[in-house]
Structure 1
Amino acid sequence: MIITDEMLAVLDQSSGPVGLLECIEVSHPNWHRVLRYIVNSSDPMDLTHEDGQTFTYSFAPLNITRSNEEENLDQKITAAIGDVGSEIPDLVDLVLKDPVRIPPILNYRAYVIGKYDLPCTYAKGLEVIVITRDWKGTSFEAQAPGLNDSGNGEIYSASTDPSLEGFYS
């Protein structure tokens, strides 16, 4: 087997995700469309998801930062989208003005450049927990649902557990 320069670029990840086309998909029930953006392509691209459906992704000045722990289910991703007009702020306003707060959902996918029929890695169903906006654009911080939840469902108090009285006095 002959290893080409393209194969070496994909295998050598020491300088970052060379050879990967990264994209995000952000959706909310109140939005009229799903936001689909790619990082390293200036032209719109048709990408096929893991379920076989194909969607068009458009370019946006986008920076994606993934959490360090990729081997477990505790996924966390931050996506900073450069200012693409007033569309994103208007969509964020729809989320904030809704009487029932439903977090937007972020899906991350990465494709090997040249092979767009199946993502090589993806993280789906991440809840957007923080949305920030400044002069540069909008940032979404998303994590797996229940990432910071802990406990066993029981409520502890001094009346049910006398050993806790020292903490309450």
Structure 2
Amino acid sequence: MPDYTSFFLNSSSGVVPLECVEISHPDFTEPFRFVKNDTEGVTVKHEATGPDVPYEYQPMSIQRSTVTNDLDQKLSLTIADVDDELIKSVVSARLGTNWKVRPSVKWRLYRDDDLTAPMVSLQTLEVATLSKDNSGNCTFDARAPELNSVKTGEIYSLERFPLLRGMI
């Protein structure tokens, strides 16, 4: 795995960081894989021993949360989805069998001289909001799944728990 620190401290100035985004859902026919900084697309490995995975170029804007070492990750993406492929796939997934499952987003950062493993990768995020404007841009926010919240899912009513009447 290439070292993130050595990329900024020891690499030559000609080495370019490549931001790759993978958007997947069980109802998609195949994941959408986009690269931001290479107009010819790239073929990378997600792991050193894994298969080659192609990413196609797509104009996009990526804004990450400033803190990368906590569990509350966030990513804001604006993708030029002129052909409406992505938004149509999301709409059909919402109407499919796995409609409760949100699309997942994986972000990886590679260096263009070593595509065998990512320098940095975020945990798997899920799409929280998604919108499409009239200029062909698809904008969405991806966040860490909310796994630990204070809600228990239990509804405490007087019918189910009559002893609660003394607490009121």
TM-score, length basis structure 2: 0.77
Partner of 1:41: 38
What is the rounded CA distance, in whole Å, between the counterparts of 1:28 and 1:160 in structure 2? 46
Per the alignment, residue 21 of structure 1 pairs with 18
SS at match of 2:93: helix
Determine the C-alpha separation between the residues in 2 that align with 1:152 and 1:83. Answer: 36
TM-score by length of 1: 0.76
Question: Aligned match of 2:86 in 79, 85, 88?
Answer: 88
Note the C-alpha offset of 1:156. 9.2
* SS of 2:129 mapped into structure 1: strand
Tell me the C-alpha RMSD between the 2 structures. 2.8
For the residue of structure 2 that corresponds to 1:124, the secondary structure is coil
Q: How far apart in 1 are the matches of 2:84 and 2:111?
A: 32
Distance in 2 of aligned mates of 1:154 and 1:27: 28
Alpha-carbon distance in structure 2 between the residues aligned to 1:142 and 1:129? 5
Runs of 4+ in structure 1 off by over 3 angstroms are: 152-158
Uncovered stretches (5+) of structure 1, i.e. residues with no partner: 11-17
Q: Is the 8 A contact 1:106 1:142 kept in 2?
A: yes
Q: Is the 8 A contact 1:60 1:84 kept in 2?
A: no
Compute the displacement of 1:155 (Å).
Answer: 6.2
- Aligned residue type for 2:67: E
Which structure carries more relative contact order (alpha carbon 8 Å, separation 6+)?
A: 2
- Give the fraction of aligned pairs with identical amino acids, expressed as a percent: 27
Change (3 A) 1:73 1:32: same
The answer to whether 1:50 aligns with 2:47 is yes
Aligned length: 151
Letter of the structure 2 residue corresponding to residue 84 of structure 1: V
Shift of 1:83: 2.5
